[in-house]
Amino acid sequence: MTGTTQAVEAIIKTDGLGRIKTPPERRRTLLEEFERSGLSGKKFAALAGIKYQTFASWLQKRRGQGKSQAKPADTVRWLEAVVEKAQTSGVRSPVALVVELPGGARMEISDATQAGLAASLLRSLAQPC
C-alpha cells in the first residue's frame, strides 16, 4: 500500500519592488509564536526566514497597537512594603530600604545615591529580553 501526500501550494504575492508580501494572518501567527518562543527577535527572524528589520517593524506596530488600547489603570503595578524595626546593634551600616525580587534577588539601599542605581536596575529588569 502506498501513502499519498498532499502538497500545499500557496501563491506568493510580491510588491512592485519584488518584496514578498506576508498576509496579516501569517504575521499575527508569527508574532504569537515569537512571544511564546523566548528567543531574541534577531534569532526568531532568522529561523522564520524573515529579514530582521521587517520582523522588528511588525513587532513595533503590534506593540504600538497594544499601547493605544490599554487603559491607564492597567499600567499600575503594586508591591508589598514591610517596615521593620531598625537594628541598632552590630557593625553594619543602617539599611534604609531592602528590595526583594521574586527570583530571590535582594538589594539593600542605604543612601540616596544608591536609590538611582537601584531604580535603573529595576527598569532594566522590567524590559523584555
Write out pLDDT tens, residues 27-79: 899 998 888 888 888 999 988 888 899 999 999 998 887 655 545 555 556 66
**37 within domain boundaries:** yes
**82 within domain boundaries:** yes
The pLDDT-based confidence of 22 (bands split at 50, 70, 90) is confident
The pLDDT-based confidence of 99 (bands split at 50, 70, 90) is confident
**100 within domain boundaries:** yes
On whether both 98 and 68 belong to a single domain, the answer is no
On whether both 28 and 70 belong to a single domain, the answer is yes
- The pLDDT of residue 9 is above 60: no
Number of structural domains (the chain) is 2
**10 within domain boundaries:** no
**Distance separating alpha carbons of residues 14 and 33, to the nearest angstrom:** 24
Give the number of other CB atoms < 10 A from CB of residue 103. 7
Give the number of other CB atoms < 10 A from CB of residue 108. 14
Q: Which of 41, 43, 8, 31 is nearest to 23 (CA)?
A: 31
On whether both 36 and 61 belong to a single domain, the answer is yes
**115 within domain boundaries:** yes
Tell me, letter by letter, the H, E, C secondary structure of the chain. Answer: CCCCCCCCCCCCCECCCCCECCCHHHHHHHHHHHHHHCCCHHHHHHHHCCCHHHHHHHHHHHHHHHHHHCCHHHHCCCCCCCCCCCCCCCCCCCCCEEEECCCCCEEEECCHHHHHHHHHHHHHHHCCC
- Residue matched to cell numbers 512571544: 35
Q: What is the pTM of this model?
A: 0.42
